[in-house]
Amino acid sequence: MKEFMLDKPSYQKLLRNYQQLNQLTLLDLFAQDNNRALKYTLKVNDMYLDFSKNNITDETVDHLVNLAHESNLIEHIQNMFNGCKINNTESRAVLHTALRTIDNLGDKRQITVDGKDVIPDIQHVLHKMHKFSSKVHTGEHLGHTGKMITDIVNLGIGGSDLGPVLVCQALKPYCKNNLNIHFVSSVDGYQILDILSELNPETTLFIVASKTFTTEETITNAHTARTWFLNNTNNNTEAIKLHFVAASTNTKAVTEFGINAADNMFQFWDFVGGRYSLWSAIGLSIILYIGFDNFKELLAGARAMDEHFLNTHELQHNMPVMLALLGIWYINFYNYSTQVISPYNTRLTRFPAYIQQLEMESNGKSVDKSGKPVSYKTCPVIWGDSGINGQHAYYQLLHQGTSIYPMDIILALSDKYSDKLHNQILQANAIAQAEAFMVGKTHAQAKAELIANGMNDTQADFLAKHKVFAGNRPSNMLILPEISPYYLGNLIALYEHKTFVQGVIWNINSFDQWGVELGKQLARTVLADIKSGKASKHDESTVQIINLCS
Amino acid sequence: MKEFMLDKPSYQKLLRNYQQLNQLTLLDLFAQDNNRALKYTLKVNDMYLDFSKNNITDETVDHLVNLAHESNLIEHIQNMFNGCKINNTESRAVLHTALRTIDNLGDKRQITVDGKDVIPDIQHVLHKMHKFSSKVHTGEHLGHTGKMITDIVNLGIGGSDLGPVLVCQALKPYCKNNLNIHFVSSVDGYQILDILSELNPETTLFIVASKTFTTEETITNAHTARTWFLNNTNNNTEAIKLHFVAASTNTKAVTEFGINAADNMFQFWDFVGGRYSLWSAIGLSIILYIGFDNFKELLAGARAMDEHFLNTHELQHNMPVMLALLGIWYINFYNYSTQVISPYNTRLTRFPAYIQQLEMESNGKSVDKSGKPVSYKTCPVIWGDSGINGQHAYYQLLHQGTSIYPMDIILALSDKYSDKLHNQILQANAIAQAEAFMVGKTHAQAKAELIANGMNDTQADFLAKHKVFAGNRPSNMLILPEISPYYLGNLIALYEHKTFVQGVIWNINSFDQWGVELGKQLARTVLADIKSGKASKHDESTVQIINLCS
């Protein structure tokens, strides 16, 4: 049986390279090549990726790039951008990149799916969102009692939540209107009831973000919001039109809900997956919050990364490709199980959660495109939090734990919404952590420091054993000029394409998510059991817990 | 050389047991024993732990319990509670449990450290916090212009942040006063400037939470807050006394800052580690937010778990011990690398982050207490998010990824702050996920479903390959009666003691954190370099990034 990745000539070469490199530390590699930092730094649209603090040599890079070529990566990339139906289990094209081909960028490319150019539809919805958001901002769209909208509530979960949450949090300083934004994602009733308790139905606009308009969590919340609205407006069903809009494709259900589908339903298409949807109608909350011009900047930033990814055929200079291949190196050769994402900026606190969904839902698969089980590891666990906070929480394990955890450190060169000293301290910490992970500290160093501080030899010898850092821990450093719409677009698209490249190397379909089905299916039975107070056929543990809940 | 855990007789027995069990699925185990669910469910203070969906048999439990006995666990537990200096690298006692021995529980026990009973000091500070919070609540303590305090800002990071954030978020419905609470943790200037921009210096109270009063992030933020305050009060330095208080032990620095140390500095002791400090003066923000009576309930809940942990010598009935041993089983025998924490309640969204610090900072070590490198894995990566949100994000990988990720699912039986239907849906999902992880779905089942839905045989055969769930994925189910102060205290203490037990089995000191030192040390040099615009001696990559930031 053909094992996709394992059969590639470069795979065997990489295995041998790994055996050799495993004997050398990062410090050895820096000592061997004083051009290393410069050579292993890419700059794309003023965003830097310094990947020199990884356990690689030129040989590794060559073999990794060859592995990508042997997997026909460039062809796969072109197929995605051109609208081929690369999502083979659902027979769908994958065209979140098409959402970024907005008219003012002068794009004349046609992208056809089933013989139809998709660009006009995309531009139509974008225009419709622009128009709607302008009306809300200017007061042309008012609440049912004639008051300005003050609060936006996005009802959505997964891809209909994480993207808007990330962008609105990251770009809050770009919000120049007076709108507050709220996100309700969980079906936990407390979340929505708590938020509703502080809102005024006369000035609140709900966005129901669900492609199918059947997502249980979102629709349950939407009905709770609708009931609250009607209870507080003397059952004014007509007013629903002014206070509820939808990002959806289900005209019938949207209309039945009471929404004016013609004007206030914003469509997207089956070539836009949930975790790639912030660029589509799911971005309506973003447009309302930061304004349409900033949203266009976000698209333009993503588009710039798209162009780089599509057109840089010297793959060692292709930033998403290199980021992906470094991941492959650690997952499939070093056998590391996780990838840490450490943004050094509070506004990017939700970036790890966003990337967690993006990569784990895309590549958390164990069969290849043909359905054959793969015999190699695919997606690792992606995790992390604000880096500076992590230093006071889980970095202990990253430095002194019994495994190694590759890390992407993300920082901004300047921050006009911060303070110079604060930002310098933040940067210094990010840089010093990467250095510390690499250089470590020996017992002799630790002991000498303790003795210099006046400790006696016996005590110092003992304590120094606890203060040893093995070092040789790899990290990438991603440096943005600033956290702006443009560079955020750049950054998100970088990881989208990284995810795609890894899927190609692993020969998996990164665009379906059948793994979410079984739990939903079983939940229907369990819910019926809880409601009826009588457990149907399950294992004894499940029965026991259903009985407790009934 | 003696290898602590590996030398235990039970370790070898567990290895053999693992070889046998590895051949059996969870469904096999349920089929073999129809008493399994009941037998593997513990109930403590009305909180349930159903651990029957784990790859264990009675033999496993026996051997794991014996492993604990062979590690002298009971003696170690008693030593901790009795104030022995079990933090051997810092010569400190570990007495967060003593913080929970509050007078109204009728505790007459003396706990002495260095010949001194610690209880009176604990009670003194608790009383002082009670008094201070009452004054703020009643208006006896007013701002400098005579207005009621409306906003509390907790300035702290790591343990001085995560605990208060968790508790205040989880218990928000218990807040019956009109105070808003804000947390500033990162040194990122944007975070504090954004919060300050919405506050009124006349009605804001800052808590500077730093044991040493030297934590760089916290003190930088405190000075920025102080400058903001003075700028907005005509440099009224005297008024600082009314608007800044401290959870600290550094009287000199606190006084120099302008705080009234006698009245408004709340002490704690070197037997309280940062990640165990929410029960101490670090809990002042909690007391102000939810009130002293609720804080006492939180302590009482933790205390109840303490009593159970200390007094349940039949270790198979000891909940923290069993939770810990199951972790050992998966980490050291199954070689799983991570532990997922999945709370099914929005108010527990920060619980995974809290446990992440608790476990990873405590047990992310690779030398034993004597300083000898361990030859077995210690703490895994602890990660997770709100479970229902995870279902729409990373659960794809948990179900269909190439590794297995044990999970703790946490849910509440009732939620008076939610809605019945919402809560039932939430519960049904939690239960169904645990079921789905265990039972999986075969190719035949998936194919039959597709054919029943009208798909032809070839298509169904192909698609079903993508819809296979291997199943046999373990999970624990933790069931709280509700998310109340008492049960939250219970839950947190459960994981504290779990962490301690794992440290004992691994023979490591769970109470130091030397691994956070090196990064801090190097950051001082890097900060000086950035400020001076001139990189000192580093590797070329570090120099390059410093130059970009300068």
Averaged pLDDT in 10-residue chunks for chain A of 550 residues: 83 97 96 95 97 98 98 98 97 97 64 93 96 98 98 97 98 95 96 97 98 95 98 97 97 97 96 97 98 97 97 98 98 98 97 98 98 97 98 98 98 94 97 98 98 97 98 98 98 98 98 97 97 96 96
A388 close contact with B: CB closer than 8 A: yes
CB < 8 Å to A464, chain B? 371
Contact A395 B516 (CB under 8 A): yes
CA-based angle A370:A372:A377, to the nearest 5?
115
Give residues 137 to 176 of B whose Cβ lies within 8 Å of A. Answer: 157-159, 161-162, 172-173
Nearest residue, CB atoms, B187 vs list A159, A402, A426: A426
Residues of B taking part in catalysis: 361, 392, 520
> Which phi and psi angles does A50 have, rounded to 5°?
-95, 110
Contact B527 A425 (CB under 8 A): yes
- Hey, which residues does B152 pair with through a beta bridge? B181, B205
Decide if A70 is catalytic.
Answer: no
The residues, ordered by sequence, that sit 6+ positions from A221 with a Cβ below 8 Å of its Cβ are A155, A184, A187, A192
- CB-neighbour burial class of residue B270 (10 A; exposed 0-12, middle 13-18, buried 19+): middle
Nearest residue, CB atoms, B419 vs list A34, A193, A512: A193
Nearest residue, CB atoms, B397 vs list A190, A379, A439: A379
- Are A192 and A224 a contacting pair, CB within 8 Å? yes
Task: List C-alpha distances in Å: B33 to A399, A543, B58, B109, B316.
Answer: 44, 15, 10, 44, 18
**Radius of gyration, alpha carbons of chain A:** 26
B444 close contact with A: CB closer than 8 A: no
| Helix (H) or strand (E) segment spanning residue B528 | helix B517-532
Contact B522 A194 (CB under 8 A): no
Contact B360 A38 (CB under 8 A): no
Q: Which residue of A has its CA nearest to B222?
A: A422
pLDDT in tens, B241-277: 999 999 999 999 999 999 999 999 999 999 999 999 9
A312 close contact with B: CB closer than 8 A: no
pLDDT in tens, B200-227: 999 999 999 999 999 999 999 999 999 9
Interhelix angle B159-170/B485-506, rounded to 10 degrees, is 140
B287 close contact with A: CB closer than 8 A: no
A378 close contact with B: CB closer than 8 A: yes
Nearest residue, CB atoms, B186 vs list A374, A386, A544: A386
Contact B548 A413 (CB under 8 A): yes
Question: Which runs of consecutive H residues, i.e. helices, occur in A443-539?
Answer: 443-452, 457-466, 485-506, 517-532
CB < 8 Å to B274, chain A? 392
Contact A367 B422 (CB under 8 A): no
- Are B171 and B480 a contacting pair, CB within 8 Å? no
pLDDT score recorded for residue B110: 81
Contact A479 B548 (CB under 8 A): yes
pLDDT > 90 in chain B, percent: 97
Contact B157 A388 (CB under 8 A): yes
Q: How many CB atoms neighbour CB B225 within 10 A? A: 23
- Are B151 and B179 a contacting pair, CB within 8 Å? yes
Q: Which of B167, B156, B485 is nearest to B350 (CA)?
A: B167
Q: Which of B53, B40, B34 is nearest to B430 (CA)?
A: B53
Q: Give the distance from residue B392's alpha carbon to the nearest chain A alpha carbon, in angstroms.
A: 5
Mean pLDDT of B107-111: 72
Contact A517 B378 (CB under 8 A): no
Q: Which amino acid is at A488?
A: L
CB < 8 Å to B162, chain A? 393
Nearest residue, CB atoms, A402 vs list B377, B468, B509: B377
> Exposure string (b/e) for B172-203, b if CB count within 10 Å is 16 or more?
bbbbebebbbbbbbbbbbbbbbbbbeebebbb
- CB-neighbour burial class of residue A106 (10 A; exposed 0-12, middle 13-18, buried 19+): exposed
- CB-neighbour burial class of residue B533 (10 A; exposed 0-12, middle 13-18, buried 19+): exposed
| Helix (H) or strand (E) segment spanning residue A339 | strand A338-343
Q: How many CB atoms neighbour CB B123 within 10 A? A: 14
Contact B518 A89 (CB under 8 A): no
The residues, ordered by sequence, that sit 6+ positions from A135 with a Cβ below 8 Å of its Cβ are A141
pLDDT score recorded for residue B4: 86
Q: Which residue of B has its CA nearest to A470?
A: B366
Residue A414, CB half-sphere, CA atoms under 13 Å: how many? 4
Tokens (6 digits) for B446: 């998936």
Give residues 267 to 286 of B whose Cβ lies within 8 Å of A. Answer: 274
Per CATH, the homologous superfamily of domain B106-298 is Glucose-6-phosphate isomerase like protein; domain 1 (3.40.50.10490)
Contact B365 A530 (CB under 8 A): no
Q: How many helices (H) does chain B have, and how many strands (E)?
A: 24, 13
B549 close contact with A: CB closer than 8 A: yes
CB < 8 Å to A444, chain B? none
ipTM higher than 0.95? Answer: yes
Give residues 211 to 270 of B whose Cβ lies within 8 Å of A. Answer: 216-217, 220, 224
CB < 8 Å to A357, chain B? 392-394
Contact B425 A217 (CB under 8 A): yes
pLDDT score recorded for residue A110: 81
CB < 8 Å to A536, chain B? none
- Are B494 and B323 a contacting pair, CB within 8 Å? yes
Contact B462 A371 (CB under 8 A): yes
CB pairs under 8 A between A and B: 478
CB < 8 Å to A224, chain B? 419, 422
Task: List C-alpha distances in Å: A148 to A139, A140, A182, B288, B531.
Answer: 6, 9, 17, 36, 47
Contact A186 B48 (CB under 8 A): no
Q: Give the distance from residue A139's alpha carbon to the nearest chain B alpha carbon, in angstroms.
A: 25
B499 close contact with A: CB closer than 8 A: no
Contact B189 A419 (CB under 8 A): yes
Q: Residue B351 in 3-state DSSP?
A: helix
- Are B516 and A469 a contacting pair, CB within 8 Å? no
CB < 8 Å to B470, chain A? 366
Contact B434 A542 (CB under 8 A): yes
DSSP structural state of residue B149: P
Q: How many CB atoms neighbour CB A543 within 10 A? A: 17
Mean pLDDT of B369-383: 97
Give residues 18 to 47 of A whose Cβ lies within 8 Å of B. Answer: 27, 30, 34, 36-38, 40-41
Decide if A520 is catalytic.
Answer: yes
- CB-neighbour burial class of residue A139 (10 A; exposed 0-12, middle 13-18, buried 19+): exposed
Intervals of CATH 3.40.50.10490 along chain B: 9-25+38-70+312-428+474-512, 106-298
pLDDT score recorded for residue A108: 62
What is the length of chain A?
550
Q: Which of A418, A289, A270, A275 is nearest to A346 (CA)?
A: A418
pLDDT in tens, B344-365: 999 999 999 999 999 999 999 9
| Helix (H) or strand (E) segment spanning residue A338 | strand A338-343
CB < 8 Å to A162, chain B? 393
A403 close contact with B: CB closer than 8 A: yes
The CATH number of A9-25+38-70+312-428+474-512 is which of 3.40.630.10, 2.60.40.10, 3.40.50.10490, 2.40.30.10?
3.40.50.10490
Residue entry with tokens 């990162």: B186
pLDDT band at B106 (very low <50, low <70, confident <90, very high): low
